[in-house]
Amino acid sequence: MGTAPTQCPSGISANFHAKFDNRTEFSCSSFPFTLNLSKLNSQPTSKGLVNKIGSLPDIDDLFWEKVPTPILDVVENPTHLKSLSVRELKLLADEIRLELSSTMSKPQRSFKASLAAVELTVALHYVFHAPVDKILWDAGEQTYAHKILTGRRILMPTLRQKNGLSGYTSRTESEYDPFGAGHGCNSISAGLGMAVARDIKGKRERVVTVINNTTTMAGQVYEAMSNAGYLDSNLVVILNDSRHSLHPKIEEGPKTSINALSSTLSRLQSSKSFRKFREAAKDVTKRIGMGMHELAAKVDEYARGMMGPLGSTLFEELGLYYIGPVDGHKLEDLICVLQEVASLDSMGPVLIHVITEENQCSEDKQKKVTVEKQQEGLSLNDIYSFSNDDHCRTYSDCLVEALVMEAEKEKDIVVVHAGIEMDPSLKLFRERFSDRFFDVGMAEQHAVTFSAGLSCGGLKPFCIIPSAFLQRAYDQVVHDVDRQRIPVRFVITSAGLVGSDGPLQCGAFDITFMSCLPNMIVMAASDEDELIDMVATATRIDDRPVCFRYPRGALVRTDYPIHGGSALEIGTGKVLVEGKDVALLGYGAMVQNCLKAQALLSKLGINVTVADARFCKPLDIKLLRWLCSNHDILITVEEGSVGGFGSHVAQFIALDGQLDGRLKWRPIVLPDNYIEHASPKEQLALAGLTGHHIAATTLSLLGRTREALLLMC
């Protein structure tokens, strides 16, 4: 048996490389537990996941035996589904749902989308032959049942934890994940690429992509569908519709009913005989000529539009053969339709419209979980929707309250929001100013240009978009806003590291790509007070675009009072602590970690100046010159990639001659790699952005290397 990993105050432990006995006790993170490796080794491990799990959760989380799952226990991979009857598949779906409820409710992770997709997932793996056949997903939240069925069941408690399973599909995690789920809307494009590559190489595997209501609001989905219709490659697109409508807003869309007639029509539409008859009819009308083919196509489209729900003919117009609606919880119908579609050698692109319910949980399990959670003081709403109102106040709460106060004074203020889902905090603004709030969903490109139009019309738009999602609207930011000097106020949320969402939603690049634009004013709030002031500042800027960022998470202060903001002077920072040996110039949320580093260094007798830059563009030139003139060491700290704030500082001090003398300058930025999912503290430690890391960098520059090493251990 090897030795236990070295524990460090920062929470970093060394990797363990040794062999264990069947039953071994060791300490991991701060959770000592006993790991039964004989049980772990009996479980299959997905390709690419061997040796990946460096730390495991509490033993009670790892081996849950609260609910019996006899069928699921013998399903080690999708191949084992092929020998099950439909009745056994139904029981398997129930067991997967119970498994998800048991393992996911304790850490309070949202899993509604996966509950809705259980039968669909079972049917897909029963009919198709993954990993030879490719199954792609648009949204990671739908894939938990897929992960369970593809050899990752034993690792589900590590979901979104450091060194654990990703919350999304990942090519490096499993061979059953042929493509990583991005910010939604990418599966059809990637699937079509795989289908065309298959055709060119003369292969025969099937390609299936699964999209949902949220992703149908993104333009890339329709671009991909249009191209798929043109190329006419064999491709199966499944719309997992949990809203019962193709309308983007559930409250405005009619509910599609699933009955015996619609079930029969879906089976007919997907049947081989009907498809062959339809193709034969097309050939006959082409031979007749005289416009008969076009007339027959219009009749066919009209008739099929009458059978399908509102909006179904859109897919036909794009060139996809529409089948549906299909009951997403009726395995017989799902399997029948999928088998018919899979049996056709030449079918072109097909869209199967599947209706699902998100609140799918067995009644007995729901009652059991309800009793358990009520004993813990949680409501059922907390368990399944996780909308507990008793939460820590966040930067988003602070932002919305500031926007409400400004909107009460300024009638031209409007809010445009884009992204996967709306932050609950924004409901306050929507309720107060319903006619001045626009949620466009996953349509970031539209949101930016729409905001530009609102500004041209005399309004003051605040365009709220998470950092990672603003990336795909960058062309609109450049040409529709900055080049024309249109005053759009960009509020960049989820800036920096985002914990369990890992690199997929990490806001690492916005400082870099926004600060290089000639007309953009770029700010970052170090705390809630500055966030409010930046809202007030942006409101008063009417001659150019402006952006400011803030991180995901709780406020710095827990007793934060609500107050109005004061406009900042453009391009001015401030000194928070004045010293003489070293200057720490923080940008945004990293100012707080600079203050932590200053506290550590002061105990070692080092006088440190801490300054809050506030602006990346324009820089506070007066402040920079003072810092360079009065300190031997200048360290810039930001939670962003190389090329951001530190690069702008370096550009100025180099041209200003500040680096020609005694000054030592060092930048601390995010490393040049993607930081995987972990807790926020763990991610900051991995990135080298904690107060300890900043202090250690300072000690190294002062030649006190030994103290720097001791500080990190």
Taking the alpha carbons of 450, 452, 455, 459 in that order, is the dihedral positive or negative? positive
CA distance 684 to 671: 11
Q: What are the structure tokens assigned to 74, written together? A: 């013998």
Confirm whether 395-549 and 574-712 share one CATH topology. yes
The per-residue pLDDT for 484 is: 97
Neighbours of 645 (CB within 10 A): 29
Query: What class has domain 574-712?
Result: alpha beta
Which three-class secondary structure string do you get for 21-38?
Answer: CCEEEEEECCEEEEEEHH
pLDDT at position 45 is: 43
Query: How many CA atoms does the CB half-sphere of 57 hold within 13 Å?
Result: 21
CATH of 72-246+272-355, one of 1.10.730.10, 3.30.70.20, 3.40.50.300, 3.40.50.970: 3.40.50.970
Angle subtended by helix axes 621-630 and 645-655, to nearest 10:
70
Spatial distance between the Cα atoms of 320 and 611, rounded to a whole number of angstroms: 58
Confidence at residue 188, expressed as pLDDT on a 0 to 100 scale? 93
Structure tokens belonging to residue 479: 């040409």
Contact between 531 and 589 under an 8 Å Cβ cutoff? The reply is no
What integer pLDDT is reported at residue 375 of this predicted model?
38
Query: Which residue's entry shows tokens 């506290």?
Result: 599
Question: How confident is the model over 274-318, as pLDDT tens digits?
Answer: 555 455 544 544 455 555 545 545 555 555 554 555 566 788 888
Residues near 106 by beta carbon (within 8 Å), at least 6 away in sequence: 61
| pLDDT tens digits, 37-80 | 333 334 444 444 534 444 444 444 444 455 789 999 999 999 99
What are the CA-CA distances from residue 218 to residues 248, 449, 494 (Å)?
A: 11, 15, 20
Q: Kindly give the parts of the chain with pLDDT less than 70.
A: 1-66, 105-110, 243-312, 359-391, 556-561
Helix (H) or strand (E) holding 616: strand 615-617
Domain range summary for the chain, segments of one domain joined by +:
72-246+272-355, 395-549, 574-712
Nearest CA to 359 among 243, 486, 254, 450?
243
pLDDT at site 414 = 97
Query: Domain 395-549 sits in which CATH superfamily?
Result: Thiamin diphosphate (ThDP)-binding fold, Pyr/PP domains (3.40.50.970)
Contacts 24+ apart (CB under 8 A), 58-64: 58/31, 58/33, 59/33, 59/34, 59/35, 61/103, 61/106, 61/107, 61/157, 62/35, 62/154, 62/157, 63/36, 63/39, 64/102, 64/103, 64/157
State the alpha helices, DSSP H only, in 440-509. 444-456, 467-470, 474-476
At residue 713, the pLDDT reads 79
pLDDT the model gives residue 234: 94
DSSP character for 82? G
**DSSP type of residue 482:** I
pLDDT at 1: 40
Q: What is the pLDDT of residue 704?
A: 94
HSE of 543, CA atoms in CB hemisphere, 13 A: 1
For residue 324, which phi and psi values (nearest 5 degrees)?
A: 150, 180
Query: For residue 315, what pLDDT is reported?
Result: 86
Residue 63 has a pLDDT of: 47
